[in-house]
Every structure is written in structure tokens, then in C-alpha cells.
Structure 1
């Protein structure tokens, strides 16, 4: 069976990880996910993606240890976007919403961290248990101490303990907590809001945020001012840039064309 289900409605793509029993990701599934997200990135008719898991128990537990035991190498070919097709995908300049519908641990939590916004069902749970299987949560070790207080991040990485959505929201890892029945409807509501916005501005925001992560403030400001970032150069020369100002002056809603 196809482990990845997609549903497109308008400018929104819903991506569902559907790999019974637990939505774990092996090398083949990761490569498929990379193709799906790369296609989303490159499709001018798509503006927002939602990532979720099938069922109500698992969002994703991460790496498929059974597949690993049968020969899938941990350093094997994950595909174009790295593990899960998203966390290393270059130039992903469109918003991605993770709708965490259940357990998100290990690489599953890292996959959620690759999204721009995270919504969680009220029964979801989180952990980075790699320490218990003698390996490292590599992406989380890079990202987590930059997202939440250092000592909390280190506690989660070093102990592998579980935490609930309320704690995740308290540390700023989750945007909203919702009843399970409301999770996807809310994700779609948010996606529709984003899809109605200016795609060139979203692209510029995502590139600036990425480039600024390990750079000095003035260095990035200089690159923006000199239009040395591709998305900034496109934005400042675009019809949408003029449309925004014109719509404001004419007291009407702007019509974004993405060009």
C-alpha cells in the first residue's frame, strides 16, 4: 500500500503518513515523502501543506527500527529531503503545518519540528527516546536548544522522557492544543488563511529566518537591503509588491498572484 496519501484542495496540499501499524518511516517511505514535498515546493499552484498521520494513536514514532533490523541502514538514502522528506529539503519557502494526531517521538517529533506551525491533539504525546536505543536524536539536538530553554532541551534529549501537549505548549513547541475531532478542521482553517496571503512574502520570511539563524543581525540586514537573498530580490521586483501598496491606497483587499 502507498504509505503516503495526499489530498489537494485549492492551493492546499494535505499529506498523510499512513503506514500501519505505527506510521514509522523506513528508507523507502522517506524517499516518497521527499518526492511529495519537493513536488509541493516546486508547484506554483500550491501554497500551503498540512502534514499529519493516519489514525488517532500515532503521528509518527520516527525511524522504523524493524526495517533497520532487517537491513535499512541508519545512514542510508533517505531521499531528496532527508529523513521524512522535509527536514533537509532545500529552499522550502512555503508554509507547512504539522497536525500532530497522536504519538510523535524520535524522528516523528523531529519531523514536526521541521514544520512552521504545530497543532496538537489533546491526547498527543512527545519524546526523544533515541538515548534508550543507543543513538542520537541528531536533528533535535541541533534544533531543540534553539527553540526552547537550553536546560529543558538537554533534559529531554538526555533522559528521553515523555511530555504532553500542555508542557509542549508551555515551552513554545506547540501553537495550539485541540480535541482530536477539531485537529484537521483547524489545520485546514489555518491553511486557508495562509493560502489567502502573499506567497512571495512568505517565501522571503522563510529564507530570511533560515539565513539569520546563525548570522549577525547587521549582516543579514545588509543582505536584505542589497537584495542579495533570492526571495527578497524577487519580492522587491514583483507585481505583488506593487499590489500590496495599491490595495492599501484604494482601501480594498489585495489580490496576490505570486509574481
Structure 2
């Protein structure tokens, strides 16, 4: 029997794939969010992993319609927030690139998971939005990430009105990276993953961590933190030296992901 009931998880070709599988709408409840967190924990020790991919199972009509409304009640709201926000804490801590395939609606917590991913491939069927305000609450992750991605004014409007947008508007705003027909989603995602597979995992992690720590900082403050990552983390890896040597010797690098 699988250790996962609400997701499917596998590691293949240096990618950890987390498939949301709670039909029909992949509504996140506390057990499902804990399973996502457990899968991410399993990715932590995979030194050669170049990406984590989120997608939805074929039997589901949405990427995710968000967090279960019943879990917002007073007796469960703390556990709900902790389970959901730990997903984002873990993603930031491991600093591996994250990719999402979105076919259908990504609303509420589903949209927040998309916001938390580095690269998003979506179909024309995709819809995005943060309708929490209509329930008298607000989306904490979106309040942090959405202004950084789509701009302050548009983010405020989307969060304060609960407006839903289609894939074309999401593409225009920079919420998604690639917009393709549904039947081409997997192919496009694999093209992205193949580019990452050509690279060294430590370099990818260092680059992602550098971008994370630099957010909201002055140039001088950000440079200090980014230089520390470069000199004291990246340049202590074998792959950094291999990449430089391979270039100078005019050969392909042989990554060890160390």
C-alpha cells in the first residue's frame, strides 16, 4: 500500500514529481498538505535532484481549487496554516528549482502554490485567482509573493477583489512562463526540465538561494549576502570548479552534483 493517499510521488531522472491526486478538485485538506510536506522532505537529501515538479492527476478537473474551507474553522486554523506554510518554508530551505504544470483552475491555495514555483507551464484551460476575500479572510502567501511577481497595484486588486483571471492574462502579468495547448503541457515541461538536467544541482540551488535572499534588500545589503553564498557555499563545491575547468579545456562538464 502506498504511503501516500492524496498525492502521487516519485523521483525519476533527477526530478521529484509531486502529483496532486484528490479528485475532483484537489482541495487541500490538512492530511493532503502534510503528504506534500513529507514528499518534499524526501527530496531534501537528493543531492543530484535538479527540480521539483508539481502537477495534477488526469482524473482531477483542477490543478487545485484551494484549501478546504472547513479547515479554516477556529479549532483547526492554526494546524491548517502550519501545514500549508511549511510547504513553502521547505521549498525555500531546500532551494531546488520548482516547476508547475497547470491544466485547469488554480485557485486560493492552488494559486499560491503556483506563485511559489519558479517556472510555470499552463494550458489555455488554466484559471487563476485568490477568492479568499469573499469568505472574509485573505491569502497570506499571496500577500507576500503576488506583489513581487505581478506588481503591487495589480496584486492588490486581485487579492482585494478576489477576481479570477484566465491563462492569457496570467501570461501577460508574468504569473506563468509558458502557455501551451493542454496536449503539449508534458512536452513543454520536459523541455524545461531537460535544460535543468544539463546543469549542476549545487549551482541551481545557489542561484535560487541568492535570488531569495536578495529580495527586498538594498544593492549593498543584497551583495553581501549573495557574495557569501557564492564564495562560501558555491565555490566550495566540486561542480563549480569542474564547470570552470571544462570551459577552459573546451569540453563538456562532468557534473558530480557535489
Are 1:54 and 2:47 matched, yes or no? no
Match of 1:87 in 2: 88
Match of 1:9 in 2: 12
Match of 1:140 among 135, 142, 147: 142
Match of 1:27 in 2: 30
Shift in Å, 1:251: 1.4
Match of 2:235 in 1: 236
Alpha-carbon distance change, 183 to 85 in structure 1, aligned in 2, over 3 angstroms: farther
Match of 1:187 in 2: 189
Match of 1:101 in 2: 103
Are 1:74 and 2:70 matched, yes or no? no
Match of 1:40 in 2: 43
Shift in Å, 1:36: 0.5
Match of 1:121 in 2: 123
The C-alpha deviation readout for 1:146-182, integer Å capped at 9, x for no partner, is 2122211111111111101110110111100111111
For 1:232 and 1:187, locate their aligned partners in 2 and report how far apart those are by CA, in whole Å. 32
Structure 1 residue runs of 5 or longer lacking an equivalent are none
Alpha-carbon distance change, 66 to 223 in structure 1, aligned in 2, over 3 angstroms: closer
The TM-score with structure 1 as length reference comes to 0.90
Q: Which runs of 4+ in 1 moved over 4 A?
A: 66-69
For 1:217 and 1:147, locate their aligned partners in 2 and report how far apart those are by CA, in whole Å. 19
For 1:67 and 1:234, locate their aligned partners in 2 and report how far apart those are by CA, in whole Å. 40
Match of 2:165, SS? coil
Shift in Å, 1:103: 0.4
Structure 2 residue runs of 5 or longer lacking an equivalent are none
For 2:18 and 2:161, locate their aligned partners in 1 and report how far apart those are by CA, in whole Å. 31
For 1:72 and 1:163, locate their aligned partners in 2 and report how far apart those are by CA, in whole Å. 33
Match of 2:54, SS? strand
Alpha-carbon distance change, 13 to 219 in structure 1, aligned in 2, over 3 angstroms: same
Alpha-carbon distance change, 158 to 10 in structure 1, aligned in 2, over 3 angstroms: same
Shift in Å, 1:67: 5.0
For 1:123 and 1:60, locate their aligned partners in 2 and report how far apart those are by CA, in whole Å. 13
The C-alpha deviation readout for 1:228-258, integer Å capped at 9, x for no partner, is x3x7523112221221111111211111112
Cα RMSD of the aligned pairs, angstroms, is 2.0
Query: Contact 2:213–2:222 at 8 Å: present in 1 too?
Result: yes
Match of 1:246 in 2: 245
| Number of equivalenced pairs | 253
Match of 2:77, SS? coil
Match of 1:257, SS? coil
Query: Contact 2:19–2:54 at 8 Å: present in 1 too?
Result: yes
